[in-house]
Every structure is written in structure tokens, then in C-alpha cells.
Structure 1
Amino acid sequence: MLKTVLLSLLAIIVLGIVVVLALAARKPDSFQVTRTTTINAPPERIYPLIADFKAWSAWSPWEKKDPAMKRSFGGPETGAGATYAWAGDKNVGEGSMRIVEAKAPERLSLKLDFLKPFEAHNDVVFSLAPQGSATTVTWTMTGPTPFVAKIMHVFFDMDRMVGGDFETGLAALKAAAERPA
């Protein structure tokens, strides 16, 4: 009787693992998270808040999650080649960013490398499109999804996990850019 129960339990566990692996295999090989907002300011006012990593303290949602995190900056102050590295608590992890393309005031591309809590290498693009006296700002992150990450994506939706932070960051960017000078 005990042997039958244990074998049944083992069969259920194995079946569960097979189902998770099958679902993971069907996940896409890459992911994309995108959020957009309209800011009542010209691109020339918004772009410096994105192109200078030291200005991120005014709007980045991760800056607020761990105010005690260690930060370091390198390269030029703004634009291509500027770097930012951080090491913080479990809310922000550890990693670095490097600006790889700076096309003021319409586009900024970053290489984003996470070391902790897990290693990941992603691309980030900020696009700024004038719309009359306002600007549409789009924040996009893309990256590969290796099989281990696909297993995680069976249980966690990357868009929901990161999208909320993007929305918070864009709202703070809007507030900073619309603040009277």
C-alpha cells in the first residue's frame, strides 16, 4: 500500500516536471517589455534626464527601492560610452549599464548587464518623439530567454514583473521633466 502511494506521488511529480518543461519549451527565445507615456515638455528637456546616469536619481524606480545601494559612474558624463554600475539589496541586485548610442534628443540605447540576482544581458532603448508641445517617450527592454529563464517564465510574466517599474519610472520622469525650471 505504501509503495503504491509513493509510486503514485513520484508519477505525479514527474508528470508535473514534464508539463513545466513542455510549457517552457513553447516560450519565445526572447522577450520585450515596452511602456510609453506622453510628457508635456520638449524632447530637449527630457533627453538630459535619460542621457546622464547621475540624473536617473530623479526618476529611476530602482533608485528608490534601495537608496543605500553603491553606485559608480565611468566614461563621459553623458552620451555614448557613459557607464553606471550598482550593487544593492535583493530589490535591485547588481549590474551595470553602458550607453551604446546617443542620438540627441530622440533616441538613447543602453547595454544592460545584470550580475545578481541572476545573470542577464539586455538591450534598452528610450525613444522620444515630439507631438506638438509634448513628447511621447517609449522605454523598451529586450533580451534573450535561455531555457532556464523560460522555465521561470512559466511561473512569472516578465512584462508584469518589469512593466510596473517602467510605468513608475516614466511617471517620475514625467514629473521631473514637467517641473518648472
Structure 2
Amino acid sequence: MKLFRIVLIALPVSAALIIGASHFLPSEIVVQQSVFLQQAPEEVYPYLNNPTEWQNWSVLNKAHDPSMIHLYGGPVQGKGARLQWSGDRVGDGQLIFTESIQPTTIAYRQSQPDDTAAILGVFTLQAHNGGTQLVWQQQTTLRQNPMAKLLGVLQKYRMQQEAERGLQGLQKLLGVRKLKS
């Protein structure tokens, strides 16, 4: 009986603490990763600007999710190019290029059918020491409720991991392509 009373008191107190703490969490997620690539921006840019190339370096590939299906639309590359995917592990999503300034900037909007919040991403390429300094920034606004903010912590971690793996994949892909040249 004493244990039941402790649990009965501890549950609402714990819930109140979690909900209260969530008000101090950010309402926006910003993830930024960067990498130095040996190639010039003009050599790197086509791999980012063409959605059919993303499966070669990003986590949106069959190695990450064997059930993944890709659909492409709009122009082949640049503003308006579109990538849609569906997979058991990665779910459903869509990515649309919103800006393409060769060879320095690519911006996109990534969304999922069941989520109203989109991820806005930007690749910035800058010539540096005979190669390219590539910065990948992603941001999204979270819904204004405690659960969304708590889940935002996990979403930020997932976005960081995916960006890191994507940049490593791009680095590996460009290193292999350089060796074949």
C-alpha cells in the first residue's frame, strides 16, 4: 500500500517536471556540419545539385534502407528538382530544391506527409586551399507543445547523424571518383 502511494504521487510529479522542463527547450532545431573536400566547388556542386546523385552519398539509399524507392520530378537538377522517397526505415518524404546558385549554394525544403514542419537545408560551397569547404545547415521549427519539444531533442540528434554520414559518404564518393580519373 505504501509503494502504491509513492507511485501515485511520483507519477504526476514526474510528469509535471518533464512538462515544465520542456518549456526551456528550444523551439527550433539548427544543425550545421562542415567538411573539407579536395575537389574544387565546380566538381562537388553536381553531386549536390542533382537529386539522382543523392542516393550515392546520403543516407537516402538502399544500403541504409533496402526497401527504399526513389521518385524524381521537375528538372533534372537545380531549382525545382524533386526527390521523393519511401522506405520501411526512413519513411516517406520529399525534397525540393528551392535555390541553386552555381557553384556556391543549394537550398532545399524537405517535408514528410504527416508533418507540417519542414526542414530547410542549405549547402554552401567555398573555394579554400585548392579544395572546397562545404557547410551543410538544416533547420526546422518545432510545434509549440511539450511533447514536440521533447521529441525535438531526438530529431536533432538524428539530423546530426544523418548529415555527418552524408558528408562522409560524399567525401568517400569524391575520393573514389578522383582515384578513377
2:55 is aligned to 57
Q: Percent identity?
A: 23
Q: Structure 1: any 5+ residue segments left out of the alignment?
A: none
2:18 is aligned to 20
1:92 is aligned to 90
Q: CA deviation at 1:164?
A: 2.0
Indicate whether 1:160 and 2:122 are aligned.
no
2:6 is aligned to 8
Secondary structure in structure 1 of the residue aligned to 2:113:
strand
Root-mean-square deviation (CA, aligned residues, Å) is 1.7
Indicate whether 1:134 and 2:167 are aligned.
no
Q: Following the alignment from structure 2 to structure 1, what is the Cα–Cα distance between the partners of residues 23 and 47?
A: 40
User: Among residues 163, 166, 170, which one is paired with 1:169 in the alignment?
Assistant: 166
Q: CA deviation at 1:11?
A: 1.4
Secondary structure in structure 2 of the residue aligned to 1:28:
coil
Q: Structure 2: any 5+ residue segments left out of the alignment?
A: none
Provide TM-score, normalisation by structure 2: 0.89
In the TM superposition, what whole-angstrom CA distance separates every residue of 1:61-102 from its partner, at most 9, and x where no partner exists?
23131133121110000000011111101x311110000000
In the TM superposition, what whole-angstrom CA distance separates every residue of 1:24-48 from its partner, at most 9, and x where no partner exists?
1111110101110000000111110
Q: Following the alignment from structure 2 to structure 1, what is the Cα–Cα distance between the partners of residues 37 and 150?
A: 37
2:37 is aligned to 39
Q: Following the alignment from structure 2 to structure 1, what is the Cα–Cα distance between the partners of residues 100 and 25?
A: 32
Q: Following the alignment from structure 1 to structure 2, what is the Cα–Cα distance between the partners of residues 53 and 133?
A: 26
Q: Following the alignment from structure 1 to structure 2, what is the Cα–Cα distance between the partners of residues 123 and 168?
A: 18
Q: Following the alignment from structure 1 to structure 2, what is the Cα–Cα distance between the partners of residues 174 and 151?
A: 33
Contact 1:93–1:115 under 8 Å retained in 2: no
- The residue type equivalent to 1:126 in the other structure is F
1:74 is aligned to 73
